[in-house]
């Protein structure tokens, strides 16, 4: 049984199921995980740690989309 938690994503309050892995949350929010960088509670979270990171109530995420230039 999962409970809804609330967290901040790019300054907006969002909710998701507790114990949601970070890559799943990114997809639920419509981000392509291969094209974003994530700041997790004030720290850049390296991609190698995403799979083992589950979001918690009150977390603050800043998600930046990487844009190819031209």
Tens digit of each residue's pLDDT (9 = 90 or more) over 23-68 = 999 999 999 989 999 999 999 999 999 999 999 999 999 999 988 7
Between 69 and 41, residue with greater pLDDT: 41
Contact 3, 12 (CB under 8 A): no
Beta strands in 4-53 (DSSP E): 4-9, 12-17, 36-40, 43-44
With a threshold of 0.75, does the pTM exceed it? yes
């Amino acid at each position: 049984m999962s409970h809804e938690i609330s967290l901040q994503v790019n300054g907006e309050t969002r909710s998701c199921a507790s114990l949601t892995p970070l890559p799943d949350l990114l997809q639920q929010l419509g981000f392509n995980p291969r094209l974003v960088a994530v700041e997790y509670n004030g720290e850049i979270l390296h991609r190698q740690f995403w799979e083992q990171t589950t979001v918690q109530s009150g977390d603050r995420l800043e998600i930046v989309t990487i844009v190819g230039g031209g």
